[in-house]
Amino acid sequence: MDENPVSRGLHQSASTTMATPALSTLRHVTERKLGKLADHHEKFEAEKKSISAKVASAPDHRSKVEALLDGFEQHGITAKDPELSIANLKRFIHQAEHDPSVSATLLSDWQSKLEHQLDLTSVKYEYAALFGKLVIEWIKHPNPAASAPTTNAASSDSDTEMSESFDTIGRKEMHEQRKEWESYAFTERKVDQEKIVKYLDEIFGTTLQAKKVTKTPLQSLRDSMKHVMDFKSDLQPVIKKNTLYDNATSKGSGTAYRFDVDTLKSCIQGVLRTDLLAGTKRESLSDLTNQPAVLRELVDVLNMDLEGLDKWEWDPSPVPLNMRRQLNGKYRVYMDEEIHQAILLHFIGTTWAVALKQAFTAFYHSGAWLQSPYRSMSKKARERREYFVPRGASHLNVRNRRRERYQRDYFMTQLPDSEFEDPPDYNAEDQDENQSWSRSSPLATKQSMLRLVTAELLLNTKVYGEFLVLQSDFKWFGPSLPHDTMFAVLTFFGVPEKWLRFFKKFLEAPVAFAQDGPDAEAVERKCGIPMSHVLSDALSEAVLFCLDFAVNKRTQGANIHRFHDDLWFWGQESTCIQAWNAILEFSKVMGLQLNEDKTGAALIVADEAASRSLPAALPKGPIKWGFLNLDPSSGRWVIDRAQVDEHIEELRRQLAACQSVMAWVQAWNSYVSRFFSTHFGQPANCFGRQHNDMIIKTYEHIQRSLFKDAGTANVTEYLRGMLKERFGTDDSVPDGFFYFPHELGGLGLRNPLINAFATYRKSFRDSAERIDRAFEMEKADYDRFKERWESGENRPKRMKFSHPPKDETGTDTEADDPFMTFEEYTRYREETSVHLRNAYVNLQECPPEEKVETLPAIRDMLRERSLEESPYWLWIYNLYVGDMNRRFGGLQLGERDLLPVGLVDVLRSERVRWEG
């Protein structure tokens, strides 16, 4: 370990391009902290040297201990070991001066413990100094998005110089994908709008009309569009609430269509969450919330913009475009618009998104939306069940559960329920560093979709003997969505002409790629929607809503499960064919193209002897989710090692591009701990313990493959070598330093294996057995009902039936009615079995992460410092507590008040921008 204190010349050595007032202040405070840390370290080492000299010159063990105690008292040094009392030792030393029974061995032990306390303090200062050096290195070489170069005042708040600055030329793939993107975005795609209207008339024109209601569901939808965020074209504002919000307003959740400071702050947070802006512009936007005077001025400007929406134009023009690489290897094109314009568009987009969500939801509940009829109980079957079974068909059944979950979690889930809801980032390939698997996040929705498909697979193969699933998405959906298609749909739904004009200006933005330089010629977009705009989501979802209803209509009640343009459908063979034909029809009419690489189908049968080929009418590609492939023969998801190996090479490239240790750790956490974990599928009951085993083995393979050229097989050894090379440390850097959170002075390196281990023992050994257990409970219920019937206990009084049970002669007789057969009892399991419903729900749940046994002292320390006590962190602390106690006398590696935790939080808050 390099024992030199942190240099006091921090300001000169820590150059950075971060220029916002909040960051500048935070950096200044950090430099003062690290300077203070260096002073404390230097002072302590001098005091320790003085104490050690006095101890060395003391004639005996008692005198040496006495010298140590005097030094502790003189310099205000406290012992961190709770079992070591300085006050008691003073008493014992006085006793030892006159009591020969106090042995030399005991005195030597006291001396060793006191000297160990001095050494612990030295080590803490050393690691706090190392932490400081790593932060300074990170400031110099942060996430590339935080270091976008600026060349003049006009571009000082922009990332238009390509935030991925360490590879401004870009890879071959980037240029290829840009060319393809341009071929879509700058080419007008003609569609037959009359054909679209005719198609929509057929789909929506025959929707049911509820009794005693004068309007059809389609008419109600159209009426709701008339006053969304109304404004007059003569520049006179119409400040009123959307009629869709009238009911909500009475509950206090309505909003007038003008900005105030609170609305502005909400929009700022919304723009930040969409990840539209990057670099210094993002930092400036974030800093706005702390500048009340600027916020008030901005409110006035934005309200003026709202009053003149019919005159709105993109300004400045052209709008710069930047390409950002995603972890899946695809580049996405982002507009680098001005901050106040981004806020305005977010406000308008959110308002329209909420209005459309409410209108479509009302349509869903209008009676026009059909419910699945497959194996639906007839009136006769329901009456017979009610006759024999007192409770009849339970409302807690699989069918109702499907309906509830579809509406809550998958119907129009891309659109917000309220203007204050967090806008989802559906293009994110990894989670934010501190994001949990919260139910509301887009990634959590993707995970729940995978679990839903798998639970349906298990249920259908058990109940019906087979399961058919198909998937697809649209090729380059964002850039390829024809403008004429959107306008045809919006016009059909009754969106006013003045808003169609505004949407046209929004879509036909004049743009130019920033990397082409300031003199690049502006090109007007002719196709597609801008990335990371809520208004884009609203417009595209209006089109895809038509697909949702078309599938429901063509299948007479089944639903497509859709996540943006990621399409899933499953069920019985005939229904799947109807759904697939509906998807093909929609694509052709709307001018969209399906992505062949992501289109496929699979048939899984319970009995191998009954296996057969897929129907010719369905696509033949494999079913994929993330890095998982569905094996039709076993019905299990299998990690695609070839795909993982491709990403190992990409990860190696991305890590090599990191110029600081902490940026390296941040990239590792994002790529390995979140991207890989997300695409392996979160451990769940429907996957079983085999899935955990597969994840564990794959992560072992990733580490061994990634670091084999470095002569090591794990990430901690690799980082030790990096620290040794850059900062002169030795090989004794403890594992805990890498894995502990930065609040304790650690690097916060994430271990992706822990979740798989923490859920291992609670994972099902065989997921299919959960449904078998439900069948066993059904049989027990049947036997109980039958026994009570035959004993006369459950015999009902004479009831009026449309189809009363009859004996062999056809005579209506109740006295000797045999109880219904078990086959009849279980014929409509999806509508009658609470046990099957419970199994269905249980299979979609995730096994709980086990919390390792934790000493009370560790829990007390965590609570005292307000540190997270999640199963992951408790696992980490208990894994390394022994070594950390021995080296540091506890879990805290450095003095908390002197660690630059605030600056680290800011640096970690910027999403990783991947090397292009």
* CA gap 763, 684 in Å, rounded: 7
* List of long-range contacts for 306-310, beta carbons under 8 Å, 24+ apart: 306/231, 306/237, 306/257, 306/258, 306/259, 306/344, 307/231, 307/235, 307/236, 307/237, 308/235, 309/231, 309/348, 309/502, 310/231, 310/233, 310/235, 310/498, 310/501, 310/502
pLDDT score for 386: 85
Q: Is pLDDT at 913 greater than 80 in this prediction?
A: no
pLDDT band at 207 (very low <50, low <70, confident <90, very high): low
Is 175 part of a structural domain of the chain?
A: no
* CA gap 295, 288 in Å, rounded: 7
Same domain, 474 and 343: yes
Mean pLDDT of 374-381: 81
pLDDT tens string 672-725: 989 999 999 999 999 999 999 999 999 999 999 999 988 888 999 999 999 999
Is 47 part of a structural domain of the chain?
A: yes
Smallest CA-to-CA distance from 901 within 38, 145, 128 is with 128
When divided into structural domains, the chain yields a total of: 3
Q: Are 449 and 561 in contact (CB under 8 A)?
A: yes
pLDDT score for 194: 96
Mean pLDDT of 367-371: 88
pLDDT tens string 787-797: 988 888 777 65
Mean pLDDT of 165-183: 75
Q: Which residue has the higher pLDDT, 754 or 814?
A: 754
pLDDT tens string 611-625: 889 999 999 999 999
Domain with 20, as residue range(s), is 10-140
CB atoms within 10 A of CB 882: 10
* CA gap 747, 11 in Å, rounded: 23
- For residues 525, 529, 532, 533, the Cα torsion angle rounded to the nearest 10 degrees is 100
pLDDT score for 384: 87
Backbone φ and ψ for 144, nearest 5 degrees, come out as: -55, -30
Show which of 580, 607, 637 is a domain's final residue. Answer: 637
Same domain, 52 and 74: yes
Same domain, 117 and 205: no
Q: Which residue has the higher pLDDT, 30 or 772?
A: 772
Is 26 part of a structural domain of the chain?
A: yes
Residue tagged 């300001």 (tokens)? 11
Beta-bridge partners for 568: 471, 561
pLDDT tens string 489-533: 999 999 999 999 999 999 999 999 999 998 899 999 999 999 999
Q: Is pLDDT at 84 greater than 60 in this prediction?
A: yes
- What's the number of CA atoms in the CB half-sphere (13 Å) around residue 60? 9
pLDDT score for 793: 77
Q: Hey, which of 78-82, 167-171, 253-257 has the most confident mean pLDDT?
A: 78-82
Backbone φ and ψ for 324, nearest 5 degrees, come out as: -120, 135
Q: Is pLDDT at 29 greater than 80 in this prediction?
A: no
Same domain, 589 and 709: no
Q: Is pLDDT at 649 greater than 60 in this prediction?
A: yes
Show which of 621, 637, 653 is a domain's final residue. Answer: 637
* CA gap 323, 333 in Å, rounded: 5
Percent of the chain with pLDDT over 70: 83
pLDDT band at 236 (very low <50, low <70, confident <90, very high): very low
Q: Is pLDDT at 916 greater than 60 in this prediction?
A: no
pLDDT score for 797: 56
Same domain, 622 and 507: yes
pLDDT band at 252 (very low <50, low <70, confident <90, very high): very low
Tokens of 285: 């936007």
pLDDT score for 26: 65
Q: Is pLDDT at 902 greater than 90 in this prediction?
A: no
Same domain, 207 and 97: no
Q: Is pLDDT at 18 greater than 90 in this prediction?
A: no
Mean pLDDT of 181-200: 96
Percent of the chain with pLDDT over 90: 61
pLDDT score for 10: 31
Is 781 part of a structural domain of the chain?
A: no
pLDDT score for 440: 60
Beta-bridge partners for 334: 322
pLDDT score for 355: 95
Same domain, 349 and 489: yes
pLDDT tens string 401-446: 999 999 999 999 999 988 766 555 544 544 444 444 444 678 888 9
Quote the pTM value.
0.86
Same domain, 425 and 278: yes
Show which of 78, 107, 140 is a domain's final residue. Answer: 140
Q: Which residue has the higher pLDDT, 379 or 472?
A: 472
Mean pLDDT of 882-911: 78
pLDDT band at 328 (very low <50, low <70, confident <90, very high): confident
Same domain, 447 and 567: yes
Q: Are 854 and 878 in contact (CB under 8 A)?
A: yes
Angle at CA of residue 11, ends 9 and 16, nearest 5°? 140
pLDDT score for 6: 35
Mean pLDDT of 205-218: 69
Same domain, 345 and 400: yes
Instruction: Please report the sign of the dihedral spanned by the C-alpha atoms of residue 107, residue 110, residue 115, residue 118.
Output: negative
pLDDT score for 24: 67
Mean pLDDT of 568-572: 94
Is 807 part of a structural domain of the chain?
A: no
Same domain, 537 and 655: no
* CA gap 168, 111 in Å, rounded: 60
Q: Is pLDDT at 151 greater than 80 in this prediction?
A: no
Mean pLDDT of 42-63: 93
Mean pLDDT of 213-238: 72
Give the C-alpha distances (Å, rounded to integers) separating 808 from 397, 702, 811, 817. Answer: 33, 69, 7, 10
pLDDT score for 258: 86
Same domain, 335 and 355: yes
* CA gap 424, 266 in Å, rounded: 14
pLDDT band at 608 (very low <50, low <70, confident <90, very high): confident
Is 172 part of a structural domain of the chain?
A: no
pLDDT score for 23: 59
Q: Is pLDDT at 20 greater than 50 in this prediction?
A: yes
Smallest CA-to-CA distance from 321 within 493, 531, 634 is with 531
pLDDT score for 392: 59
CB atoms within 10 A of CB 205: 10
Is 166 part of a structural domain of the chain?
A: no
Is 243 part of a structural domain of the chain?
A: yes
pLDDT score for 393: 60
